[in-house]
Amino acid sequence: MADPTDRPALAPSAGDGAPHVRDQAGDPDAFLPLGTIPYGVTNGDYDPASFDGLDFYRVDDLLTDDEKALRDRLREYVSAEVQPVIEQHAQALTFPLDVARGLARLGAIGPTIPAEYGGLGASSVAYGLAMQEVERADSGLRSFCSVMGSLVMYPIYTYGSEEQKRRWLPRLATAEAVGCFALTEPDVGSDPGSMTTRARRDGDDYVITGHKRWSTNASIADVALVWAKDDDGDVRGFLIETDLDGVSTPRIMDKWSLRAAVTSEVVLDEVRVPASAMLPNVKGLKGPLSCLTQARYGIAWGVLGAAMACYDAALQHTTSREQFGRPVAGFQLVQNHIADMLAGITKAQLVAWRLGRMKDEGTMRPAHVSLAKRDNVRMALSVARQSRQLLGGNGVLGIYPVMRHMANLESVVTYEGTDEVHTLVLGLEATGINAFS
């Protein structure tokens, strides 16, 4: 596996201080960072820097040295550089692009892409572990990395021309260029075949008109992978640079979830692109759906990080806070919650690990990913909710990561296929009967 630390540090880009990045709802410095002890509290501790990953079934023994090395690099960076600022960015509705580029320099974006195109040539398990460590900080940051790697780099590498690969992949891998994925529309979610965005052929060009929604990164993106129907009604993917005439990417601000991520619309008004902007090697819904399979795989790993962060906060708090003359963790009902969380995380780790090995062996199918995405997200939501209860009133404060993770996971359970859609995928797998129609 290539060593990402050989990459040069990036100079700040011209967009780093652009209004669409910085001019948001608040100032991150106005909010308290994680781990701040509330005024007057002397009973109960939490230090995010003391995080120690849960590994009850010794999953580490199943990992290669390269896989552990990538995880450990990112774990150290997240603890040192991301945790101290991420809560404040979420409170202020700002996105830490400099932090995201630091993650990219360590290999968090598109690590399975071959080194000749800017990736690391890493295993799928290594990619999953990377998403776990990023989402331990925040689901919004993991969304940034997932979109870049699974929804933009993957289709360019798999379906793009050599020119498209050479132009975009190395710059995306370092986050010098930012990409977004535009599939969902205001009136079209779980049924992408009903999209209304159109790509009309006009000589050597295509003219694209449509409206996409819920596109992570779009307001700061340099390129959007837009899925549209051509004159024959076939779904095709187009790499559209966001500074072209007719492209606008208004940011969605009124959200209680994924507040440290840039969530946007992509509006296309007669946008003219050359035919060379189209991904040449895929046609139909296979294109976007195969991308979503990659992203769902990353989610199944990422939510392990969110769950472990919540579990760690609850464990630190309950073992250090005393009530009725003993640690809160010494009460039976509290230990019931802790045991449930430990068991849930452990089972989800084994599912994710096995799925990763199947992916690299070529035996993974979309239904396998549906099970992992559905059940691991359910587990993470349960852990977040139980952790919030164990933290008492302070559990709603930003000095703990739990309430933020819980709110973020309400988005994660919906995007990349809702819980219900994945349930129907599994039902079809088990019965052979299609309940979608």
Crossing angle for the helix pair 65-77 and 97-105, to the nearest 10 degrees: 160
The two counts, helices (H) then strands (E), for the chain are: 13, 9
Q: Which two tokens stand for residue 47?
A: 């230090």
- Catalytic member of 135, 416, 420, 429: 416
User: Helix, strand, coil: what percent of the chain each, to 5?
Assistant: 55, 15, 35
Task: Show the DSSP H helices in 230-365 as ranges.
Answer: 286-320, 332-361
Q: Which residues contact 173 (CB under 8 A, 6 or more apart)?
A: 104, 109, 110, 113, 117, 118, 119, 153
Q: Which residues contact 210 (CB under 8 A, 6 or more apart)?
A: 185, 195, 196, 197, 198, 226, 228, 268
**416 included as an active-site residue:** yes
Mention every residue, 6+ apart, whose C-beta is less than 8 A from residue 354.
none
The neighbour count for residue 48, using CB atoms within 10 Å, is: 24
Residues 94 and 17 sit within 8 Å (Cβ to Cβ):
no
216, 144 contact by CB (below 8 A): yes
Active-site residues, by number, are 416
